[in-house]
Structure 1
Amino acid sequence: MSHHCHHDHASGSGFRVLLVAFLITTSFMVVEVIGGLISGSLALIADAGHMLTDSFALALALAAIRLAKRTPDNKRSFGYQRFTTLAAFINAASLLLIVGWIFIEAVQRFIEPEPVMGPTMLVIAIVGFAVNLFAFWLLHRGQQDNINIRAATLHVLGDLLGSAAAIVAAIIIILTDWTPIDPILSVVVSLLVLRGAWSLLKETSHELLEGVPNSVDTEQIAQQMPKELTGVINVHHIHAWQLGSQQIVVTLHVHADGSQSHDKLLASIHRWLYQQFGIQHATVQLEYDQCEQFDCEPHPSHSH
């Protein structure tokens, strides 16, 4: 039972980290919107838009951690563990939309450059960078095996890059008055964010589509188990999927030769699955003959 306690503790600390990051991000987003409107800087308003999705991402992650802890019921026998994956998927999808919006906005700024108050923009961008750096440090310390916290960290990293770009753009505007640097840097940042969002979208889609987790090799289970465990003839009907960031579930049929006692063989199969792949939740169906395929009596000799 010890791993359950550890998991609860981990999700508790994850919740606190996310809550602090959420409060910091949301507060600064308001400052950035006001600053963007005063200075006329699209970079700041775009960064504030980015921070709005950060707040949304963090709020989703917080809700997901709370929901995932709810106990299973008659309607959801696995509980709400998959909700965290769903939240991370929505986060990744929202990042792709924002990147698209920034591209369109940047093109418009190239066509019609607008005046920007460099000094005001610089001050707010520096404060934003400090705020994002702190939020990123907090989240990066959290468990990175939690797909939810990783999604939130990715959002904040995008912000951190956005703030850095805004600082550079502000300095260039102050020194040279060349405003196109603003949209140019916002596109560069968007491309970096796009890469992370795409890989997260692939990973969460795979999990939502009941894909086999990366740590499990069904081919290896089918080939190695009969070689390594006495009493196993073959393994078939193997299905593996992932529930949340922690739990892998496997179901399989094992054709046994009857040389081992039922319970002993079952125990050794569970132990083997755990040692090879870290699988803790396996449903194993033992079959002692293939008679059900031929519709014959299991042991006709005993009927006399």
Structure 2
Amino acid sequence: MNGDQSHRHGHGHGHGHGLPAGGPRRPLAIVLAISTAILAVEVVGALLSGSLALLADAGHLLTDVAGLALALVAAVLAGRPATDTRTWGYRRAEVLAAAAQAAVLLAVGGFVLAEGVRRLLEPPAVASGLMVVFGAIGLAGNAVSIAVLSRVRGGNLNIRAALLEVVNDALGAGAVLAAAVVIAYTGWTRADAVASLLIGAMIVPRTWRLLRETVDVLMEATPKGVDLAAVRAHILALAGVREVHDLHASSVASDLPVLTAHVVVDDGCFRDGQLPVLLDRLQQCLAGHFDVAHSTFQFEPAGHATHEHPTHR
């Protein structure tokens, strides 16, 4: 790189991309073990009691176990260092895992809603006493899992996906208990189907939002909280800046937004040594106002636009 190029290109540096030491692996492993145990208990309970609500919660837990296993693997991969062939390491693994979990949960939610409607029309006999026992076990286990995941600070999409699933499970266990009480005291067996429909209604909307967020990351949409119009205005407000173009913002992972831009500056900035100062100001502005710690800037003189490729204007 010659002297002119070294002044024309400024870029962020010193930004680590790894997970904090330990990361979310230990809490994910604990919750995975708890969910696996609850799954086994609820399958037995659903078979013994004939409850669709327990079966729905067990089906949801089955996806949780698979999803949490994916999340744990993703957490391990995300902690691996960057290489020349994978310059961001495996940071996007948590997004892929969250997307897979959300897609499976949507399918489960659809099944539960359809089966709930069928049983609402033709309610089978249900053993309410067994529903209470197994529902209480599920609720207690989910409460422990929620406590474990809630202690993880700055949770990424992976942790949020896992917490969302466990919270949904806890709400499902609560619905099972409520249905069991209604059946025990009134004999209205359709309460089991109603509880199943409530579980499905809790699964689908929240999961849809999570899926949209993961798709946004994969499609490199502008991160939430980063207003590109405001970013452009802040850059143009700096002394010496004439124009900004090729302004792009995306996310490598849920907690790693990145931004790039071509910044046209006064010709004098290339002669008086102002580019390093301007670069510091730009990066401090982005980190302070928009919480974007990783940014890359290309500085250009005004005449550069005349021979730049049209796609970069």
TM over 0.5: yes
Rounded Cα–Cα distance in structure 2 between residues aligned with 1:294 and 1:112: 73
Matched, 1:179 2:193: no
The total of aligned residue pairs comes to 292
Q: How far 1:28 sits from its partner (Å)?
A: 1.5
Task: State which drifts further: 241-250 or 205-214.
Answer: 241-250
Rounded Cα–Cα distance in structure 2 between residues aligned with 1:221 and 1:259: 24
Q: How far 1:271 sits from its partner (Å)?
A: 2.2
Q: Which runs of 5+ in 1 are unaligned?
A: 296-304
Task: State which drifts further: 135-144 or 145-154.
Answer: 135-144
1:205 aligns with one of 215, 234, 254: 215
SS of match in other structure, 1:243: strand
Of structures 1 and 2, the one with the larger relative CO (CA 8 A, separation 6+) is 2
**Percent sequence identity over aligned pairs:** 38
The match for 2:306 is: 293
Rounded Cα–Cα distance in structure 2 between residues aligned with 1:77 and 1:226: 30
Rounded Cα–Cα distance in structure 2 between residues aligned with 1:144 and 1:183: 37
Which segments of structure 1 move beyond 6 Å, counting only runs of 4 or more?
none
Deviations 1:99-139 (A, max 9, x none): 10001111221232211111111111111111111111211
Matched, 1:189 2:199: yes
Q: How far 1:189 sits from its partner (Å)?
A: 2.5
The match for 2:261 is: 252
Q: How far 1:276 sits from its partner (Å)?
A: 2.0
Rounded Cα–Cα distance in structure 1 between residues aligned with 2:213 and 2:17: 27
The match for 1:300 is: none
SS of match in other structure, 1:282: strand
The match for 1:282 is: 295
Rounded Cα–Cα distance in structure 2 between residues aligned with 1:191 and 1:4: 40
CA pair 133-69 structure 1, distance change in 2 beyond 3 A:
same
The match for 1:20 is: 30
The match for 2:119 is: 109
**What code does the residue aligned with 2:202 have?**
L
The TM-score with structure 1 as length reference comes to 0.90
State the Cα RMSD in Å: 2.1
SS of match in other structure, 1:250: strand
Q: Which runs of 5+ in 2 are unaligned?
A: 1-12, 309-313
The match for 1:97 is: 107
> Are the counterparts in 1 of residues 217 and 251 from structure 2 also a CA contact under 8 Å?
yes
Task: State which drifts further: 268-277 or 205-214.
Answer: 268-277
> Are the counterparts in 2 of residues 250 and 283 from structure 1 also a CA contact under 8 Å?
yes
The match for 2:20 is: 8
Deviations 1:143-198 (A, max 9, x none): 35411111111111111111001111111111222111101121122212222111
> Are the counterparts in 2 of residues 144 and 150 from structure 1 also a CA contact under 8 Å?
no
Rounded Cα–Cα distance in structure 1 between residues aligned with 2:168 and 2:14: 37
SS of match in other structure, 2:98: helix
Q: How far 1:3 sits from its partner (Å)?
A: 8.0
Task: State which drifts further: 286-295 or 174-183.
Answer: 286-295
> Are the counterparts in 2 of residues 145 and 245 from structure 1 also a CA contact under 8 Å?
no
SS of match in other structure, 1:252: strand
> Are the counterparts in 1 of residues 222 and 249 from structure 2 also a CA contact under 8 Å?
yes
CA pair 184-294 structure 1, distance change in 2 beyond 3 A:
closer
**What code does the residue aligned with 2:253 have?**
G
